[in-house]
Structure 1
Amino acid sequence: MSTDKRAGRKLIRGQRSTTVQERRSYGLDDAFQLFYNVKKAEGMRERTLADYKAHWRYFREWIDENYPNAELGDITPSIAREYYIYMANGRTKYEGVEGREIVGQALSPTTVAIRLRTLRTMFNFWARERMVDINPVANLKPPKEDEDEIQAFTDDQLRLLLAAPDTGTFAGFRDRTLYMLLADTGLRIQEALALTPEHLDVKSRCIHLPAAMNKNRKPRIVPVSAEVMRLLFELMTENRAFFPDAERIFITAYGEPLTGDTVRKRLTRYGEQAGIADQVRVSPHTFRHYFCKTYLLNGGDLFTLQRIVGHADISTTRKYIQMDDENVRAQHAQFSPIMRLRAGKRR
């Protein structure tokens, strides 16, 4: 022990500091509001903030039912594990949504993993702020997920889909241009819909996406083919003729920004019209799958693709590239060692 000469009292080095519970007790909702406000101030995307709210609501409802009056410091690893088991095994899917409840069906492993990740992010924040001593979710491992094949359009399906819009109308020409852009660049639908003429670089034939428009908050450059760049300029010419004040490239027939929901509804209708709705999921993201898969099959490399589509982790890019049986057979026929040996003998 040592003595503080100024106060004349003894100091015990290494003595455990006051616990969180002794220091202050935090209500669950107050703790979440602090977390939410900080993330919002950091510029977190609205979609992510909405997910935080939803995932927290699910957790709070379970806590209220099983541990009423619990506060932040009361959440132990044991309680966190109970909630994990509840999500993975005991929860009724769509519980509380009238007409959609599926009794006895657990949440998918993907959903459980996402909600677990959200809770881990929250408790990590509270631990850094010294509002809790430990993260009760830290040692919970996400459930293993089956790696289902990611569907993409075939070339024939894409041709049929592109032929569906009536390009004699503004809406039809706009829709086809959007689909061409998505298939040519792999842009996410919200990235494409947020484009303005200032994002286009005609000389370099590319799109400059600022950090604020990207999911990973990093700027990126996306190359565009000459054909698609031409279509974009034709569309902008149409826009200026009727709506000179419109900022976005993709707008409605009334000059308002086109929304993702509108795009999805119209795509569904075109998919049925093209006769491919029962063959493949007709959605904006399927264009992204098509771009990634086709880019690699045509000889593009994985790392360049990662930069184009804006993935922070190369493993995410790999998941997009799942070849179907026909692609596998074609690649095997081209690169089979035995076929190369036979070809060498014939020479």
Structure 2
Amino acid sequence: MKRRRGELSKEELNLIYDDSEKKEEELYKAFLRDCYIRNLRPATLNYYENELMAAKKLLSKPLISWTPNDVEEFILKSKEFMSITSVNTRLRALRSFFNFAYKKKFIKKNPMKDIKLLRDRQKLIETLNNEEIENLIKTIRKKKTFVSFRDEVILLVFLDTGVRLSELVGIEVDDVQGNKVIIRKTKNLFERTVYLSDITQQQIERYIKLRGKVETNKLFISQDNKELNRHSIQTRFQKYGKEAKISKRVSPHTFRHTMAKRMIMSGVDAFSLMTMLGHSDMTITKRYVNLWGTDIEKKHKQYGALKGLKI
């Protein structure tokens, strides 16, 4: 009889171990390859990687072997320590993954087919009022440094244009053309033009002179003349918010919401706002229009259809 020694052969290993991990690795590579082919943003790829790995870890079971019951168990466990919004964010990643797996015949049944996102109560999004914006600018101006002046200009650009943080850090000096800025690194890959008010245009021109010529062509730079990273901007504005004693969250996203609200209250129509903000469809823009109930009430009192009628 032949003596057994050494490592088991591939065929022998298959007799012992389930090859689901191997199939999942193959599926995972194919899914990411498809994402690359579709030219999804690096941030989107990171989102898929992080969410899929976290979901797999929660149930300690290969995703490729999940059933609808596993998805339901995942939801129940996730709700114990995650917000509804976060659970839905993870479910969206799983849906994309399983739709791809089913389409490419890696799996026979799609476990997400009849699973819907969790219902979540729509919350009013915080925005900054005039006093808070003015206090924030005063707080920044007290510093009297290159970095503080740069941050003041960044704040003005955020409030004036509603650009996303990722879009702002991608702006180059040549993209600034008088009272307009070309936004090239957009979320939906469609370039768009945003426009500047007189004060923002003046401050950008002053900033560019103060900035001078450096190795990078990015508009906003660090005190070491290097490109700014997004995290540093978020951190600095959180700090400014605390110094200005603003209880609300002070962040680039808050500035974007503030711009949207101010434009709506000034009478800008939804289609124009959609273009300004770079939304790919009207759904999100409509939500902005319906967000600020108390302000809409004021508008109704001011411009109500029955106002002025002697009835």
Q: TM-score, normalised by structure 1?
A: 0.78
* Cα pair 2:214 2:225 within 8 Å, conserved: no
Alignment of 1:67-216 (within 5 A): 67=61, 72=64, 74-88=65-79, 91=80, 93=81, 107-166=82-141, 168-202=144-178, 205-210=179-184, 213-216=185-188
* Cα pair 1:183 1:287 within 8 Å, conserved: yes
Tell me the amino acid that sits aligned with residue 55 of structure 1.
E
* Cα pair 2:56 2:63 within 8 Å, conserved: no
Q: Which runs of no fewer than 5 residues in structure 2 stay unpaired?
A: 1-18
Deviation of 1:246 after TM superposition, in Å, equals 2.8
Alignment of 1:151-300 (within 5 A): 151-166=126-141, 168-202=144-178, 205-210=179-184, 213-240=185-212, 243-276=213-246, 278=247, 280-300=248-268
The equivalent residue for 2:27 is 31
Tell me the amino acid that sits aligned with residue 174 of structure 1.
R
Identity %: 24
* Cα pair 2:169 2:218 within 8 Å, conserved: yes
- Provide Cα deviations, 1:278-335, integer angstroms capped at 9, x if missing partner: 2x2111111101110000111111111001101112121122342252x244213312
- Provide Cα deviations, 1:166-220, integer angstroms capped at 9, x if missing partner: 3632111101010001000001112112110121222xx222223xx11112121
CA distance in 2 between partners of 1:273 and 1:261 (Å): 19
Aligned CA RMSD, in angstroms, stands at 2.1
CA distance in 1 between partners of 2:63 and 2:308 (Å): 69
CA distance in 2 between partners of 1:39 and 1:58 (Å): 19
Larger radius of gyration: 1
The equivalent residue for 1:334 is 302
CA distance in 2 between partners of 1:328 and 1:59 (Å): 41
- Provide Cα deviations, 1:62-90, integer angstroms capped at 9, x if missing partner: 342xx5xx572x332233233233323xx
SS in 2 for 1:208: strand
* Cα pair 1:174 1:235 within 8 Å, conserved: yes
Deviation of 1:230 after TM superposition, in Å, equals 2.1
Q: CA 1:246–1:32 in 2, change beyond 3 Å: closer, same or farther?
A: same
> Residue 304 in 1 paired to residue 272 in 2?
yes
CA distance in 2 between partners of 1:249 and 1:219 (Å): 17
- Provide Cα deviations, 1:248-303, integer angstroms capped at 9, x if missing partner: 11111110112222112221222122222x2x211111110111000011111111
* Cα pair 1:187 1:288 within 8 Å, conserved: yes
- Provide Cα deviations, 1:219-258, integer angstroms capped at 9, x if missing partner: 2121222321221121111111xx4323111111110112
CA distance in 2 between partners of 1:186 and 1:133 (Å): 45
CA distance in 2 between partners of 1:273 and 1:153 (Å): 15
- Provide Cα deviations, 1:140-191, integer angstroms capped at 9, x if missing partner: 0111011000111111211111111136321111010100010000011121
Tell me the amino acid that sits aligned with residue 320 of structure 1.
Y
CA distance in 1 between partners of 2:297 and 2:63 (Å): 58
Q: TM-score, normalised by structure 2?
A: 0.86
